[in-house]
Amino acid sequence: MKNRNSNLKRVIVDFKKLTPEILALLVERYPDGYDDDDVISFKNQHNELVEAVEVITEDTKYLVKVSTKLSVTMENYDEDDYEDFDNNDPEAVQPPEIADEDTEDND
């Protein structure tokens, strides 16, 4: 039996390319945030371990790389913050201020 998601376009998204549309989908799918059971781990083309959470639209499966920035942005999400931006504008989602940037990895 064929998986219904096998024909979807697959896109890996890091925080720098996160759009208001994808952020809204993430918050809708993970309203209380994501936990370890939601994280998918895989190796990219450079053989680096990537951890991501999945969100699916009608035609695309997004794998959004997990990070402290992503968690904080999801926690503080307010759709009104993005009403003046296009849904596909990666410039709209700005990194949050995080106290200790030295512990940040892969962002």
- Domains in the chain, number: 1
The confidence score (pLDDT) of residue 77 equals 93
Question: Is the residue at 15 inside a domain?
Answer: yes
> Rounded to an integer, what distance in angstroms lies between the CA atom of residue 62 and that of residue 40?
12
Average pLDDT along the chain, 107 residues, taken 10 residues at a time = 70 92 95 94 92 94 94 92 91 84 51
Question: Is the residue at 48 inside a domain?
Answer: yes
The confidence score (pLDDT) of residue 1 equals 43
Q: Residue 32's CB: how many other CB atoms inside 10 A?
A: 8
Question: Is the residue at 37 inside a domain?
Answer: yes
- Domain extent at residue 24: 9-64
Q: What are phi and psi of 60, to 5 degrees?
A: -140, 140
> Rounded to an integer, what distance in angstroms lies between the CA atom of residue 41 and that of residue 66?
10
Question: Is the residue at 57 inside a domain?
Answer: yes
Question: Is the residue at 107 inside a domain?
Answer: no
The confidence score (pLDDT) of residue 98 equals 78
Residue type, 40: I
Beta bridge partners of 53: 39, 64
Q: What's this model's pTM, rounded to 2 decimal places?
A: 0.79
Question: Is the residue at 49 inside a domain?
Answer: yes
